[in-house]
Amino acid sequence: MNNCKSFKPSIDNNSTVLILGSMPGVKSSEKQQYYAHPQNRFWKVMGIICNEANLADFDYNLKLKILLKNNIALWDTIKSCKRKGSLDSDIKNETLNDIKKLLKDHPKIKTICLNGNKSYSAFKKYFPDLSDKYNCYKMPSTSPANAKYKLEDLCKIWSMITRDI
């Protein structure tokens, strides 16, 4: 089992949408970048949403700037855990990020999108009261492990966040 740690949030004072993943996978941890696995479709989906078709090919810092320009913040529900590999189903001994403080410090956020089942289940378990204060959406995971969804399907579902940007 590896000790896994979340990254700092990518957020600014104009952010209106917060996307919460569960915990960075092995490739993301190695690169210290959100959604760094080449088969993860997150950046392709965000490229469609942000009208930047080639976003997945951009420099990482530019990717984050484009999300922020579109009022989209990133973070993870889980602060630390033990896990072998990258699968969310293998997460053990999780501790949580202080999402309530982040939301208090960034009052323009109105929408929270939970990227995948683990992020959603941890959020619902530990922050049930936030569902009453924010538009909360369980989104299909962009992970390559979620082969159930084609890229086109993910883009169609995820594009609903544009009404909240």
**What is the set of active-site residues?**
40
Pick from 161, 137, 130, 157: which is nearest to 67 by CA? 161
The secondary structure of 78-142 as a DSSP string is: EEEEEESSS-GGG-EEEEE--HHHHHHH-TT--EEEEESHHHHHHHHHH-TTHHHHSEEEEE---
> Residue 96 phi/psi, 5° resolution?
-105, 150
Pairwise CA distance, residues 64 & 58, whole Å: 10
